[in-house]
């Protein structure tokens, strides 16, 4: 399983590979919020 976070310009901002389900959604949410706050 892999997850990719794309910024508003269409660039790869972060990627997670071989993730485990437990806690992953929260980690992605926090990364997305940080990306949003930085823009």
Is 90 exceeded by the pLDDT of residue 38?
no
Identify the pLDDT of residue 7: 94
Q: Domain segments of the chain: what residues? A: 2-38
22 pairs with which residues across the strands? none
Is 90 exceeded by the pLDDT of residue 39?
no
State the Cα–Cα distance between residues 10 and 25, nearest whole angstrom: 21
Of all residues in the chain, what percent carry a pLDDT higher than 70?
Answer: 100
Work out the average pLDDT over 6-26.
95
Backbone angles phi, psi at 28, to 5 degrees: -65, -45
The structure's pTM equals: 0.79
Backbone angles phi, psi at 3, to 5 degrees: -130, 140
Work out the average pLDDT over 1-18.
96
């Amino acid at each position: 399983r892999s997850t990719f976070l794309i910024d508003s310009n269409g660039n790869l901002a972060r990627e997670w590979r071989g993730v485990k389900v437990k806690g992953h959604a929260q980690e992605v949410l926090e990364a997305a919020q940080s990306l949003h706050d930085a823009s």
